[in-house]
Amino acid sequence: PIDPRDIAAVAARALVDAERHRGGRYVLTGAQPMTTAQQVETLARVLGRPIKHVPVPLAGARAGMLQSGMPEMMADAILELVSGNSGDPFVTTHVKDVVGREPHSFESWATSNAAHFA
62-104 confidence digits (pLDDT tens): 999 999 999 999 999 999 887 765 556 689 999 999 999 999 9
pLDDT tens sequence across 43-56: 999 999 999 999 88
Residues 69, 19: Cα–Cα separation, whole Å: 44
Instruction: Quickly state the pLDDT bin for 8 (edges 50, 70, 90).
Output: very high
Residues 93, 78: Cα–Cα separation, whole Å: 25
pLDDT given for residue 116 in this prediction: 95
| Radius of gyration of the chain from its Cα atoms, rounded to whole angstroms | 17
Please report which residue ranges of the chain form alpha helices under DSSP H: 4-16, 18-21, 36-47, 58-67, 72-83, 94-99, 106-112
